[in-house]
Amino acid sequence: MKSLNKEIYRNYETYPEKVLQFGEGNFLRGFVDWQIQVLNEEADFNGSVVVVQPRGSEKIERLNKQDGLYTLYLQGMKDEQEVDEHLVIHSISRGINLNADYDAYMELAASQDLRFVVSNTTEAGIVFNSEDKLEDRPQRTFPGKLAAFLYYRYKAFKGDESKGCIIIPCELVEDNGGKVKGAILQYAAHWNLEEGFVNWIHEANTFCSSLVDRIVPGFPKDSYQEKTEQLGYLDELMVTGEQYHLWVIEGPAWVKDELPFEKTKLNAKIVDDLTPYRTRKVRILNGTHTAMTPVAYLCGLDSVADAVNHKEVGAFVRELIAEEILPTLEGSAEELNTFAIDVLDRFKNPYIKHYLMSISLNSISKFRTRDLPTLLEYVTRRKAVPKRMTFSLSALIYFYKGNRNGEKIELQDDQEILQFFSNLWEKYNREEIAIKELARTALAEESLWGLDLTSIPQLEQTVTAYLEDMEQLGMQRALEELTGASIK
């Protein structure tokens, strides 16, 4: 069978290269590149995307082998109807392998057409590394690469202020636009770049923070064969995602003229302040994902849909949202409730299999940013610990024991974090410490949570009790004890 490329798929227009994209991952391909295609088709955006890989080069080579083409499945509810559609995305003109062809990257910096930069380099990507040099080909970090790119552009156009870029990071990090700009300025200072460049960064470029929302589980490993037979071609870059999408971009109103979302069916908006959208999404959607994962996985479940459809786990998830997450958020209770109902419907999407293990990646830092604020706010408002969120925290500590019914769990987190928990559970297994001490040591570790959690009244005792239940009864029965208790 042939592979997807422009020999077998020719039916599309090509456009000037207007967007530089840092990241070749599933999310950007299932979200931004699809939106660029819709902007071209419905609003004359007239632009294509050049992709660079923030680290490595293997996926860029695969992208180029397919001439930037790939099949996107969008499956789920749309306007209250079930929709299962797929289309070939052709908005990517090419990928540049920065290790092999850095010159092409420098040439792109001098392009008249280029106007936008987008990125998704995970929570770990927006960083400064003092070892990066301007002369590196390429620099190690994403901001290092972008700082060099913008400097070549500044030089190529002799500081022309009309040649700046609109930079829209998509990383799920607060103030992502400000953080990228801060890192660029740090590189400018570190590399002793001239004041004119720093002024050009401020005056000619617009850094827009953004909030993205679409569940994109990515490559359909369970249904790839079936999909390939239906399509009649091989596609290593196939992506699956839900129908729902929201892109909120914080920036000046004139950005609407350059990104004409309003002329399209896209659920994308340019706003003055994205904070309310972000807090709501991160606490309700991502927070619930992260909080349910260790509980559901240790009950023997593998996907988000399995979890919300399970009697006890589903009830746990719904009560967690209703009783603990929503009451700790600011804003209209009705709007928050509607958003939460939609999120639960999205979790049940029968078309996509969103694996709990993929959500579990870096769970400790995710709990810290997505769930701990709920726990702390609840304690402040109610003067008591939220029992379901505390149960999740206990389940998370239990998950890092690394064992499900005798099978090893492939934990994915920073090496130091994995080592910390492995040492702790080994001490417990050797009977050197009891659960109480294990709970205290884990909760007191500020490097994990950003604060000493034993300072929260009743938290240590509650976590100890839940961990004892988990150890003695197993997760399913420990959960039954909890939900049974909550019904009384």
Ligand X SMILES: O=P(O)(O)OC[C@@H](O)[C@@H](O)[C@H](O)[C@H](O)CO
Ligand Y SMILES: NC(=O)c1ccc[n+]([C@@H]2O[C@H](COP(=O)([O-])OP(=O)(O)OC[C@H]3O[C@@H](n4cnc5c(N)ncnc54)[C@H](O)[C@@H]3O)[C@@H](O)[C@H]2O)c1
Contact yes or no for 289/367 (Cβ under 8 A): no
Residue 21 among known ligand-binding residues: yes
Nearer to ligand X, 285 or 465 (CB): 285
Q: Residue 262 annotated as binding?
A: no
Query: How far is CA 419 from each of CA 415, 422, 436, rounded to the nearest angstrom?
Result: 6, 5, 20
Select the residue interacting with ligand Y from 15, 17, 24, 206 (CB under 6 A): 24
Return d(Cα 64, Cα 74) in angstroms, integer: 23
Question: 205: closest CA among 116, 111, 108?
Answer: 116
Q: Any binding-site annotation on 278? A: no
Residues of this chain that interact with ligand X (CB under 6 A) are 172, 213-215, 285-286, 289, 359, 361
CB of 78 to ligand Y, least distance (A): 17
On whether 55 is known to bind a ligand per the annotation, the reply is no
Q: State the pairing for strand pair 210-213/246-250.
A: antiparallel
Question: Which of 214, 249, 217, 219 lies closest to 118 in space, CA to CA?
Answer: 249
Instruction: Tell me how far apart the alpha carbons of residues 176 and 87 are, in angstroms, rounded to a whole number.
Output: 30
| Residue 220 interacting with ligand Y (CB under 6 A) | no
- Residue ranges in 70-223 assigned as alpha helix (H): 102-109, 142-156, 176-190, 195-204
The nearer residue to ligand Y, 120 or 209, going by C-beta atoms, is 120
- 51 neighbors 63 (Cβ within 8 angstroms): yes
19 annotated as a binding-site residue: yes
CB of 420 to ligand X, least distance (A): 21
Which single residue is written with the structure tokens 């995970």? Answer: 122
Q: Closer to ligand X at the Cβ: 341 or 361? A: 361
Of the pair 37, 349, the CB lying nearest ligand X is at: 349
* 10 annotated ligand-binding residue: no
Is residue 27 annotated as involved in ligand binding?
A: yes
Question: Which among ligand Y, ligand X, none contacts residue 25 (Cβ within 5 to 8 A by kind)?
Answer: ligand Y
Task: Give me 398's structure tokens.
Answer: 């239990």
At closest approach, how far in Å is the CB of 351 from ligand X? 14
Q: Is 474 annotated as a binding residue?
A: no
The answer to whether residue 172 forms part of the interface with ligand Y (CB under 6 A) is: yes
Residue closest to ligand Y, measured at CB: 25
Please say which residue, 100 or 361, places its beta carbon nearer to ligand X.
Answer: 361
Report, in Å, the least distance between residue 369 CB and ligand X: 10
367 binds ligand Y, rule: CB under 6 A: no
Continuous segment of H or E residues that includes residue 77: strand 70-78
Instruction: Report how far residue 145's alpha carbon sits from residue 96's, in angstroms, rounded to the nearest whole number.
Output: 13
The interface partner of residue 54, options being ligand Y, ligand X, none and the CB cut-off 5 to 8 Å by kind, is ligand Y
Residues 259, 271: contact at Cβ < 8 Å?
Answer: no
The option from ligand Y, ligand X, none interacting with 289 (CB < 5 to 8 A, set by class) reads ligand X
Residues 133-162 that bind ligand Y (CB under 6 A): 142
> At its nearest, how many Å lie between ligand X and the CB of residue 196?
38
CB nearer to ligand X: pick between 181 and 214: 214
Neighbours of 246 (CB within 10 A): 15
**Smallest gap from residue 287 Cβ to ligand X (A):** 9
- Tell me how far apart the alpha carbons of residues 204 and 196 are, in angstroms, rounded to a whole number: 11
CA dihedral sign, ordered 77, 79, 82, 84: negative
Q: Does the annotation flag 331 for ligand binding?
A: no
The helix (H) or strand (E) run that includes residue 228 is: helix 224-231
- Return the number of other C-beta atoms located less than 10 Å from residue 10's C-beta: 8
Could you tell me which residues are annotated as the binding site?
19-30
Which residues are near ligand Y by CB under 6 A?
23-27, 53-55, 120-125, 142, 172, 212, 214-216, 218
Could you tell me which residues are annotated as the binding site for NAD(+)?
19-30
